[in-house]
Amino acid sequence: KEEEEEQQQPQQPAEAKKEDAAEDEVKKADDETKKEPQEKNEEEPKRHYAVREAHLDWYPGPGTLVVTVQEARNLPAAEKNQDPYVRIDINDKVQETKPHKDGGVTPNWHGEQLSWKLDAPPSNDARVVIGVYDQDLGKDDFLAHVGIPLRDFAVDGEKWYELTSDDANTVKAGELLIGAKWTPSGEGSLTIHVGAGQKFRDVDGAKMDPYVEIELRGKKERTK
């Protein structure tokens, strides 16, 4: 019995060492897990700035809006040989392009221009209503339409606009390539509100004095 007790006694420290080793491994794994987010945080810039909304105010003042009508594609076919034309309504003033005879579903008006003189800036809910029709001897056939906010439309450049043929604007009816250019009759104003930034690159520690510089058509302005 004494020999058996002597053989069992050295086994207890060995089992305790195994348990201690297992606990050390778990602790080491926990420490490694805790280090990961700390290493990620060290990569982030030390300086942070609050984010605020920046506004861009567009005030055209009185002037002339010139609309250039280019072409359409994938229009509905009201008849075999249709003569499509474009009708545009801006501020209840309606103008039309010449019909493209036998233009079918891919008419081209080759940059025909229509112009509107506006005495005041458009309201927030003002819209450009564009319709495409087939000229007939009797009543012209409606083909497609699109409504565009005037403030979004009166921008230099051309764009393809998706057309629909129903009031809910769910039935696709081709596309129209059209452009617009605004020519002010006097001086307008463009106001840019600079709010704040965040996560700037830290180049000078706590002594950084950031400012914003804006260049428009060769003229530069900068904030304090």
- Which among 34-38, 119-123, 138-142, 206-210 has the top mean pLDDT? 138-142
Of residues 84, 90, 72, 81, the one with CA closest to residue 160 = 72
Question: Which band of pLDDT confidence, cut at 50, 70 and 90, is reported for residue 168?
Answer: confident
Distances (CA, A) of 153 to 31, 78, 215: 59, 28, 24
Higher pLDDT, 87 or 197: 87
Q: For residue 209, is pLDDT > 60? A: yes
Residue 208 in contact with residue 199, Cβ under 8 Å?
no
Q: What is the mean pLDDT of the chain?
A: 76
Confidence of residue 83 (pLDDT cuts 50, 70, 90): very high
Q: How far is CA 28 from CA 4, 23, 34, 41, in A?
A: 37, 9, 10, 21
Q: Buried b / exposed e across 134-158, counting CB within 10 Å, b at 16+?
A: bbeeeebbebbbbebebbebbeeee
Judged against a pLDDT cut of 80, whether residue 71 lies above it is answered with yes
Average pLDDT (188-193) is: 70
Range picked from 2-11, 47-56, 65-74, 156-165 for highest mean pLDDT: 65-74
The structure tokens listed for 10 are 């050295």
* DSSP conformational letter for 150: H
How does DSSP assign 174-195, residue by residue? EEEEEEEEEEESS--EEEEE--
Radius of gyration of the chain (CA): 35
Please compute the mean of the pLDDT values over residues 212-224 and round it to a whole number: 78
1-10, 136-145, 188-197: least confidently modelled range: 1-10
Q: With 60 as the cut, is the pLDDT of residue 59 above it?
A: no
Picking from 42-51, 54-63, 72-81, 189-198, which range would have the lowest pLDDT averaged per residue?
42-51
Report the pLDDT averaged over residues 206-218.
Answer: 76
pLDDT of residue 93: 92
Beta carbons of 120 and 62 less than 8 angstroms apart: yes
Q: What is the pLDDT of residue 182?
A: 78
Q: Count of alpha carbons within 13 Å of 220, Cβ hemisphere only? A: 4
